[in-house]
Amino acid sequence: MNVFPEQKPHSLLEMEEKERWIRAKYEQKLFLAPLPCRDLPLGQQLLRATAEEDLRTVILLLAHGSREEVNETCGEGDRRTSLHLACRKGNVVLVQLLIWYGVDVMARDFHGNTALAYAKQAVTPEVRELLLQYGCPDEQFVLMATPNLSRKNNRNNNSNAGGGGLMPTLI
């Protein structure tokens, strides 16, 4: 007897058999297609697939992934999530999928930008509305890099042509 048949169990099977099949499908994820790459962590694959707007791969990775993997960042010096990347592309479908699979809409990149800042830059009203609907903060900060505060050579640090040492953050 095949414990986990490829087809959905019919109504005449015992309740215990149906429960085993449901656990295999939804908890153990036994019926999902295999991951496209095993050399790279799932979260990093998701970041790459999102950046490439590869919808099919994103869906597969989300189905396999955990909440932690969905919220993987590009790195400590960056901290953008797949949501930031999808918003920068203005891709409302990817944004909706990521939200449904538990991405943190409050996450901030290294400069303090939420995904909404990226959506505003992409000029995509549907993405902005979706983020606001799910509670992404709409802050009107002018986000800047911190000034160079080194005390060793103040003369050089303060000699930027009227810029005061501040550089705008590029997204």
Q: Is 53 left (phi over 0), alpha (psi -120 to 50) or beta?
A: left
Domain range annotation of the chain: 32-138, 141-171
Which among 62, 49, 57, 59 has a CA at the least distance from the CA of 103?
A: 62
Q: Give the three-class secondary structure for 168.
A: strand
Q: Which two tokens stand for residue 73?
A: 């960042």
pLDDT in tens, 87-122: 999 999 999 999 999 999 999 998 899 999 999 998
User: Once rounded to an integer, what is the mean pLDDT over residues 1-26?
Assistant: 66
pLDDT in tens, 39-59: 889 999 999 999 999 999 999
Q: Which two tokens stand for residue 69?
A: 């993997």
Residue 168: φ, ψ to 5°: -65, 145
Q: Which CATH superfamily is domain 32-138 in?
A: Ankyrin repeat-containing domain (1.25.40.20)
Question: Which region among 9-13, 57-61, 70-74, 111-115 has the lowest average model confidence (pLDDT)?
Answer: 9-13
Q: What pLDDT score was predicted for residue 13?
A: 67
